[in-house]
Structure 1
Amino acid sequence: MTDLIIWTILASLLGIIFGSFINVVVFRTKEGQSLGGRSKCRTCLEPIGGMDLIPIVSYFALKGRCRRCSSVIEWQYPAVEMATGILFGLLFARAWLGIGWPNFIDQTEWVALFVRDASIAIFLVIIFVYDFRYSYILDKYSIPAILLALVFNVALGANALSLLLGGLLIGGFFAIQFLVSEGKWIGGGDIRMGLLMGFLLGPALGGVALFVSYVLGALTGIFLILTKQRELNSHVPFGTFLALGTVIAMIWGSGLLNWYLGYF
Structure 2
Amino acid sequence: MPDPGALPFGAGVAFAALIGLVLGSFIATLVLRWPAGRSVLGRSQCDACRRPLGIRDLVPLLSALAVRGRCRQCGAPIDRFHSRVEIASALIGALALALMPGVAGWLWALFGWLLLPLALLDARHFWLPDRLNALLAITGLLLAGPLLDTPLVDRWIGALAGGFALAAVAWAYRLARGGDGMGGGDPKLVAAIGAWLGWQVLPLMLLLASLGGIIWALAMRNEKGDTPLTLRRIPFGVFACTAAWIAVPVWPLLISVR
- In which range does the TM-score fall when normalised by the shorter chain? 0.7 to 0.9
Amino-acid identity (%): 26
Kindly tell me: are residues 63 and 230 of structure 1, through their superposed partners in 2, closer, same or farther at Cα, counting changes over 3 Å? Answer: farther
- Aligned residue pair count: 245
Moved more, 17-26 or 246-255: 246-255
CA contact (8 A) 1:40 1:48 kept: yes
Q: Are 2:224 and 1:234 aligned?
A: no
Q: Are 2:192 and 1:196 aligned?
A: yes
- Rounded to whole Å, the distance in 2 between the matches of 1:20 and 1:228 is 38
Q: Are 2:210 and 1:205 aligned?
A: no
Q: TM-score, normalised by structure 1?
A: 0.82
Pairs within 5 Å for 1:153-192: 153=144, 158-182=150-174, 184-192=180-188
- Structure 1's consecutive aligned runs of 4 or more residues displaced over 4 angstroms after TM superposition are 154-157, 226-230
- Rounded to whole Å, the distance in 2 between the matches of 1:121 and 1:170 is 19
- In structure 2, stretches of 5+ residues that fail to align are 1-6
- Give the aligned partner of residue 251 of structure 2: 253
- Give the aligned partner of residue 241 of structure 2: 243
- Give the aligned partner of residue 220 of structure 1: 216
Q: Are 2:125 and 1:150 aligned?
A: no
CA contact (8 A) 2:108 2:245 kept: no
CA contact (8 A) 1:167 1:194 kept: yes
Q: Are 2:14 and 1:18 aligned?
A: no
Pairs within 5 Å for 1:13-52: 13-52=18-57
How far off is 1:28 after superposition? Answer: 2.5
- Rounded to whole Å, the distance in 2 between the matches of 1:227 and 1:42 is 33
Kindly tell me: are residues 56 and 165 of structure 1, through their superposed partners in 2, closer, same or farther at Cα, counting changes over 3 Å? Answer: same
Kindly tell me: are residues 36 and 193 of structure 1, through their superposed partners in 2, closer, same or farther at Cα, counting changes over 3 Å? Answer: closer
How far off is 1:234 after superposition? Answer: 2.3
- In structure 1, stretches of 5+ residues that fail to align are 97-109
CA contact (8 A) 2:159 2:190 kept: yes
CA contact (8 A) 2:141 2:156 kept: no
1:135-160 CA-to-partner distances (Å, cap 9, x unmatched) read 11000101111011011135887423
- Give the aligned partner of residue 100 of structure 1: none
The alignment's C-alpha RMSD in Å is 2.6
